[in-house]
């Protein structure tokens, strides 16, 4: 958490007169949007206006959250987004550890004069004016709650804040399944429920939103799932042509990588997908126990993240990327 002196300094910045923006990472997920909107609604409860800006669009299954449709998407409104960041007095940076993780917003953030406040749970954060970094906490949304708590404002947590933070924690813990989910996480969830978060509604709105095309893609992936390295590693993949054939939309492959971990004996799952428009392979890694996919991805696939959840990228072909991956795990590089 921020030091007491830092909290005092931050509190003096949180005034209705100051222009405040909230930024999060490229390809925003549930925790990115949940933490950003949760913070926005908290500031609103204090009588402070803030805008959420994201680099690119986010999945439809997250757009039910309060004021999600008011989020400024920079790829559609570049001038508005750049002007707001340049003119901001305070810039909250949520769920990313480096300006390189926020796409076109990165250069604007670096050049901005506003005070930059980082709240994030990824490893190796870069320098910001104020840094709250904790890699043990499973979701940035939980960290936003701790921030509210540190400012002694738990009484301000209302239904809008509760719904957004609950969604962020739920999605980044895999429905409270990952080992980073702690007793503290569950106590916070209980408080969010007491303040208006409806678990059944949130789960249904977020996860029970399958389209026929998404299920076709899932069937395709599961139909050719491969297990290597003596049954310890699962490999899943999709080609660009397959995405096009089944009308891929942003968010359709969310969670696909987790199916590999549901196989008995599998300790690591990797999902490889050709980008729809550019010539690179997007990779998602998930693992169990002490299998560190963060270091593996950093070393071999230009990525990173958490011990049990990371992303990566390859400029090789899909088949070559998968072959490289298999070679690395077979060589015992996990």
Below-70 pLDDT ranges, the chain: 333-334
Q: Phi and psi of 129, rounded to 5°?
A: -65, -40
Give the DSSP letter of residue 69.
G
User: What does the pLDDT read at residue 219?
Assistant: 96
Tokens linked to 313: 């990228």
User: What does the pLDDT read at residue 146?
Assistant: 98
Q: DSSP characters for 209-254?
A: ---HHHHHHHHHHHHT-EEETTTTEEEEEE-HHHHHHTT--TTTTT
- SS3 assignment, position 118: strand
Map tokens 């208006």 to a residue: 196
Q: Distance between CA 202 and CA 163 in Å, rounded?
A: 7
User: What does the pLDDT read at residue 150?
Assistant: 97
Q: What is the bridge-based pairing of β-strands 281-287 and 309-314? A: antiparallel
Q: Which of 31, 83, 25, 78 lies closest to 54 in space, CA to CA?
A: 25
* Length of the chain (residues): 334
Q: Assess contact for 310 and 285: CB atoms under 8 A.
A: yes
Q: Distance between CA 245 and CA 181 in Å, rounded?
A: 38
How many CA atoms within 13 Å lie on the side-chain side of 254?
23
Q: Distance between CA 268 and CA 291 in Å, rounded?
A: 7
Sheet of 20-23: strand order equals 72-73, 50-54, 20-23, 90-94, 115-120, 130-133
User: What does the pLDDT read at residue 333?
Assistant: 65
How many CA atoms within 13 Å lie on the side-chain side of 276?
11
Q: Distance between CA 189 and CA 18 in Å, rounded?
A: 31
User: What does the pLDDT read at residue 78?
Assistant: 97
User: What does the pLDDT read at residue 204?
Assistant: 96
User: What does the pLDDT read at residue 178?
Assistant: 83
Q: Assess contact for 56 and 191: CB atoms under 8 A.
A: no
- SS3 assignment, position 120: strand
Q: Distance between CA 78 and CA 93 in Å, rounded?
A: 18
User: What does the pLDDT read at residue 334?
Assistant: 67
């Amino acid at each position: 958490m921020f030091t007491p002196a830092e909290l005092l300094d931050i509190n003096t910045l949180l005034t209705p007169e100051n222009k405040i923006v909230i930024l999060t990472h490229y390809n925003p997920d549930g925790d990115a949007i949940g933490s950003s909107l949760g913070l926005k609604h908290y500031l609103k409860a204090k009588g402070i206006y803030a805008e959420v800006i994201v680099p690119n669009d986010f999945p439809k299954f997250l757009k039910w959250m309060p004021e999600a449709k008011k989020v400024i998407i920079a790829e559609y409104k570049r001038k508005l987004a750049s002007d707001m960041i340049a003119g901001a007095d305070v810039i909250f940076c949520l769920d990313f550890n480096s300006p390189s993780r926020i796409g076109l917003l990165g250069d604007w953030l670096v050049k901005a004069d506003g005070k930059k406040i980082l709240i994030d749970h990824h490893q190796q954060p870069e320098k910001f004016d104020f840094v709250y970094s904790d890699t043990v906490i499973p979701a940035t949304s939980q960290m936003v709650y701790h921030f509210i708590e540190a400012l002694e404002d738990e009484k301000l947590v209302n239904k809008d804040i509760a719904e957004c933070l609950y969604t962020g924690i739920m999605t980044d813990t895999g429905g409270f399944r990952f080992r980073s989910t702690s007793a503290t996480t569950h106590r916070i969830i209980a408080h969010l429920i007491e303040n208006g978060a409806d678990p059944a509604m949130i789960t249904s709105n977020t996860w029970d939103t399958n389209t026929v095309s998404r299920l076709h893609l899932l069937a395709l992936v599961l139909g050719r799932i491969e297990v290597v390295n003596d049954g310890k590693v699962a490999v899943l993949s999709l080609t660009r042509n397959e995405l096009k054939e089944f009308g891929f939309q942003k968010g359709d492959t969310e969670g696909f990588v987790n199916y590999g971990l549901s196989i008995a004996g599998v300790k690591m799952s990797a999902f490889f997908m050709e980008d729809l428009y550019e010539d690179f392979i997007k990779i998602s890694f998930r693992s169990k126990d002490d299998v560190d996919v963060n270091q593996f991805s950093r070393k071999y696939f230009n990525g990173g993240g958490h011990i049990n959840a990371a992303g990566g990228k390859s400029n090789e072909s899909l088949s070559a990327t998968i072959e490289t991956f298999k070679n690395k795990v077979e060589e015992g590089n996990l």
